[in-house]
Structure 1
Amino acid sequence: MRQWPALAVVLSGTLLANLDVFIVVVAMPALKQGLHLGGAAQQLVLAGYQMTYGLGLVPGGRLGDHFGTFRVFGAGMALFTAASAACGLAPFPAFLLVARLVQGLGTALMVPQVYRAAQSLFTGAARSRAFAVTGAVMGLGALCGQLLGGRLLSADPYGLGWRAVFLVNVPVGIAALAALPWAARAAAAPARARPHGRGRLDLPGAGLTALSLCLFLTPLMTAGYSGLRGGEPAAALASVLTLAAFLRYERRLELRGGNPLLPRELLRCPGFVRGLALVALTNCGLNSFVLTLGLMLQEGLGWGPMATGLGILPTAGAFATASLLAPVLRVARSRLLMGAAAISAAGYLGCAATAAAGRTAWLLVALGAAGAGLGLAVAPALAFTLRTVPDGISGAASGVVSTVQQLAAAVGVCLFGTFFFALVHAGAGIPAAFAIVTVANVTTAALSGVLAATVPPDRVPAHGDEPGRAAGGIPGTGRARP
């Protein structure tokens, strides 16, 4: 049972990672006024954090395989905490921008360790519950970002203004670092919690994947806030070519007996690639929906920061609750995922209809439905994706899953965010633009439902062993013991 408190310590990284995205969205008007940020600087404050976060996830996961979950998590948390203090004390815009980039790097080290801990410390039903708790903490982070950001800006403690939204991370980070040595000792007993080898790190592979992701993410991160500007096709082509070079290098390195950043064994794990597609569709819809919802409540309905946070409460609360509920439902995984897609699609349509009609009370009900559908999808999708990944490459798998989540969020914000701003600039009111974009967002739920229909009909892991476990299989491999 000591594994659960150990997981709770690393889950603080997931909480802070999600909180820091949404709390800055709420605080942006205060940041604009307090530091006199121009349009480009505002984009970089939002996108720079997500950029370095996305770039470092795969190397961050692989570092966990080499040096251990808790050691790498501690380095990431220390970096994130120091950068948060620097953000809160920033005297001018450039200082804030650099500190936000460092914050993203710290997050990239932390987040893959959360999935790695859930994968390596638990098996069977307990692992499914660990993924469910992880999904609930993701929703809690989004909720805290909105509510806490609104509360801090309204209360203005000690006259800190916008600085409080960054400084609030510091005590949480210090507490997590203080508890980390105990958590590492508590989790040290199972052999699977230890690092799986310290071969030479794949630095060329890390450089190639970072370059490919940078070329892909840069136009997406800025397009969501400033619109498409014409350079995206060239950047996308360069990203694909760099990715091809990365995959070729990784294959040759593995054939030479090296330790690649992306082991080919990972892509051959049954269901891994299909699970990544499910994770991508869920995150594409979730992130774009929450961000356009925040814009609609603040700018369309004229709600203040605190009221906006309360308005998003049904979505984040239902998301967290449904994430915890998913593992205890006695429903086949494929049916659960299809049901989750149907509920989230109905929620999206309800949000669109009630926002366009100006029915605030019914909008809140629809927001709860959308959050519940998305929450029901998270834990089963993660469990399906990682269920056959061997423990020795669980860090690499965690980095890939986290990167796909971040890329999907960027694509969603770009596609649906640009569509939203184009409608507003064309003369549509913000509530009407939100309604149209939310209807378009139904496509992500529909596609995830279609994909879920192809998931093998094994039961949710909370009520049945994962493949390879019932007959004394090797954890995480799907293979029987010799």
Structure 2
Amino acid sequence: MTTPDPRRWLMLPVILSATFMYGFDLNVINVAIPSLQHDLNANEATLELIVGGYSFTYAAGLVLGGRLGDLLSHRRMFLIGMASFTLASVLCGLAQSPGELVAARLLQGLTAAAMVPQVLALITSVFPGEERMRALSWFGVVAGLAGVCGQVLGGLLLSADVFGLGWRVIFFLNLPVGVVVVAFALRLLPQADTGRRPGLDPLGVVGVSGALALALVPMVLGRGQHWPLWTWISLAASVPVGIAAILWERRLGGRGGDPLLDLALFRNRGFSLGLGVNVAFMASFTSGIFVLSLLLQSGLGLSALQAGLAFGPMAVLGMAGPVAGRRLVPKIGARGAMLLGCAITAVGMVFIGTALQALGGDINVAWLVIGLALLGFGNTLVLPLLIGATLGGVRPQQAGVASGMLNTTQQFAGTAGLAVLGTVFFSVLGSHTGRADFASAAETVVWINLALIAVMAGLTALLTRPAAKPAAAADSSPTVAAEASA
């Protein structure tokens, strides 16, 4: 049995910094949109690329980032990704034109795809089974905080106009953080690799990335351009390209090669069901936060800072969720704790939806804050356990590609949920801009999200105790998977 790395708990905040930096930069840009319009004279299409281009290149590069971690070592890819992300952030801050900022944001998303898959891969490979749940709990805390801090801290920085930098400070902030993280990562991250290193599979890279690009670009840009013909052609083309890529991956694996997508992972019931739960989770979470942010700012007239602060209780209870999960698992099992998290999230959705239905445009922000707090606790109670259940049967040799597939699924589901439910929201809203109109549109999305939470709960209930494993493999499976009761 391999002795765990004695520095693993010192290592954890270092690798989790990548999760925070990615999530922070994903969300903080929304606060800076008015400043970007004023300073760079960016039009609506350019703003969509500045905001959505980051998500697109991130999602398109995740599977490749995971594979490169398996190929070059997770330590090396983390260092390359973090250093490159820091440089790309500086380029964003130095941009003098909308085009320069778009290019820098595309690069920033791609570099994030190099570092983020290494986080879960390192947690899976470094922490033994009995400790992995604790590490994943902290992952859930950081992932939840990143989004809220992007709005709250971003609003504070822009309001303070630090050093007169305006919107640029949100990108320059990554420079000192990135330098410190790289310095600690060089000292703390393990040198060991996962054994035999796979090939790169260039055809798989082109096929999988091409299929994702064809699907994600219209999702990111379609709504703002009112879904022109090219968006539908692109979405339709993504299907045959995706099928061709999967057939190639299957053929390559069948003849003993190293496919980019390890299709054997789907024979793991926990992995397959876990991906399904992740789809419903991310579609609900991403669209819900987006719509409620619009309600607070555009509908109820709150400033970006005030809206960010309204999410504060959500962040506080979001930190409590993973801690509660660790204590609940020994008593009711991981599956029971996940179902409880789904129930609490559903209560929060019902609370918000009922308040919007009863009060309409006269709703007080306090009602939304209470519902958001319940969502924060329920979502972060689910997330670490869900990740553990999804990666429960993954061998260390598969950690990078499995993490990349999981992150890609989450990002794709979040983008799709945002595109579909964002379209529903704006369709219900129409040309109306009153408080009651925003409340009605938001209510519609809330009830749809409640249905997604019901799907989460149904798939979670299907998670069963994994089959007994040989002693040599037992330690590679996290506690959460072992405790997912039948």
Task: Tell me the TM-score normalized by structure 2.
Answer: 0.91
1:35 and 1:92 in contact (8 A); partners too: yes
Match of 2:83 among 78, 83, 96: 78
Give the aligned partner of residue 476 of structure 1.
Answer: 476
Give the aligned partner of residue 438 of structure 1.
Answer: 446
1:153 and 1:305 in contact (8 A); partners too: no
Q: Give SS of 1:341's match.
A: helix
**Do the aligned partners of residues 444 and 226 (structure 1) sit closer, same or farther apart at CA in structure 2, a change above 3 Å counting?**
farther
Q: Distance in 2 between matches of 1:299 and 1:451?
A: 35
Q: Give SS of 1:258's match.
A: coil
Q: Distance in 1 between matches of 2:216 and 2:47?
A: 17
Give the aligned partner of residue 62 of structure 1.
Answer: 67
Q: Are 1:211 and 2:210 counterparts?
A: yes
Alignment of 1:102-121 (within 5 A): 102-121=107-126
Q: Distance in 1 between matches of 2:283 and 2:225?
A: 19
Give the aligned partner of residue 48 of structure 2.
Answer: 43
1:19 and 1:144 in contact (8 A); partners too: yes
Q: Are 1:396 and 2:401 counterparts?
A: yes
Deviation track 1:409-453 (CA, whole Å, cap 9, x = no partner) reads: 101101111111122225362233222211221111111011111
Give the aligned partner of residue 308 of structure 1.
Answer: 307
2:194 and 2:396 in contact (8 A); partners too: no
Letter in 2 for 1:107: A
Q: Give SS of 1:387's match.
A: coil
**Do the aligned partners of residues 195 and 249 (structure 1) sit closer, same or farther apart at CA in structure 2, a change above 3 Å counting?**
same
Letter in 2 for 1:353: T
**Do the aligned partners of residues 283 and 224 (structure 1) sit closer, same or farther apart at CA in structure 2, a change above 3 Å counting?**
farther
Give the aligned partner of residue 23 of structure 1.
Answer: 28
Q: Distance in 2 between matches of 1:34 and 1:274?
A: 46
Q: Distance in 2 between matches of 1:473 and 1:416?
A: 42
Deviation track 1:275-303 (CA, whole Å, cap 9, x = no partner) reads: 10111111111111111121111111111
Deviation track 1:327-383 (CA, whole Å, cap 9, x = no partner) reads: 221222222222222211111121233343512222211110111111111011111
2:204 and 2:248 in contact (8 A); partners too: yes
Alignment of 1:10-409 (within 5 A): 10-184=15-189, 187-188=190-191, 193-329=192-328, 330-355=331-356, 356=360, 357-409=362-414
**Do the aligned partners of residues 395 and 449 (structure 1) sit closer, same or farther apart at CA in structure 2, a change above 3 Å counting?**
same
Q: Distance in 2 between matches of 1:467 and 1:78?
A: 41
Q: Distance in 2 between matches of 1:81 and 1:40?
A: 26
Letter in 2 for 1:429: D
1:223 and 1:418 in contact (8 A); partners too: no
2:222 and 2:231 in contact (8 A); partners too: no
Q: Give SS of 1:197's match.
A: coil
Alignment of 1:441-480 (within 5 A): 441-456=449-464, 468=469, 473-476=473-476
Give the aligned partner of residue 463 of structure 1.
Answer: none
Deviation track 1:294-334 (CA, whole Å, cap 9, x = no partner) reads: 11111111111211110111223322321232122122222
2:70 and 2:198 in contact (8 A); partners too: no
1:390 and 1:475 in contact (8 A); partners too: no
Q: Distance in 2 between matches of 1:412 and 1:239?
A: 17
Q: Give SS of 1:331's match.
A: helix
Q: Distance in 2 between matches of 1:354 and 1:410?
A: 27
Deviation track 1:44-67 (CA, whole Å, cap 9, x = no partner) reads: 011100000000000100111111
- Structure 1: where are the runs of 5+ without partners? 459-465
Give the aligned partner of residue 462 of structure 1.
Answer: none
Q: CA deviation at 1:224?
A: 4.7
Q: Distance in 2 between matches of 1:467 and 1:67?
A: 32
Q: Distance in 2 between matches of 1:179 and 1:467?
A: 38
1:64 and 1:195 in contact (8 A); partners too: no
Q: CA deviation at 1:408?
A: 0.7
**Do the aligned partners of residues 467 and 304 (structure 1) sit closer, same or farther apart at CA in structure 2, a change above 3 Å counting?**
farther
Q: Give SS of 2:96's match.
A: coil
Q: Distance in 2 between matches of 1:70 and 1:441?
A: 38
1:354 and 1:360 in contact (8 A); partners too: no
Q: CA deviation at 1:170?
A: 1.4
Q: Give SS of 1:332's match.
A: helix
2:199 and 2:258 in contact (8 A); partners too: yes
2:282 and 2:413 in contact (8 A); partners too: yes
Give the aligned partner of residue 421 of structure 1.
Answer: 426
Task: Tell me the TM-score normalized by structure 1.
Answer: 0.92
Q: Distance in 1 between matches of 2:375 and 2:51?
A: 25
Q: Give SS of 1:56's match.
A: helix
Q: CA deviation at 1:256?
A: 2.8
Q: CA deviation at 1:457?
A: 5.4
Q: CA deviation at 1:467?
A: 5.3
1:151 and 1:305 in contact (8 A); partners too: no
Q: Distance in 2 between matches of 1:382 and 1:253?
A: 28
Q: Distance in 2 between matches of 1:134 and 1:216?
A: 28
Letter in 1 for 2:275: L
Q: Distance in 1 between matches of 2:304 and 2:236?
A: 40
Q: Distance in 2 between matches of 1:308 and 1:368?
A: 14
**Do the aligned partners of residues 342 and 231 (structure 1) sit closer, same or farther apart at CA in structure 2, a change above 3 Å counting?**
farther
- Structure 2: where are the runs of 5+ without partners? 1-5, 479-486
Letter in 2 for 1:341: C
Q: Distance in 2 between matches of 1:203 and 1:78?
A: 24
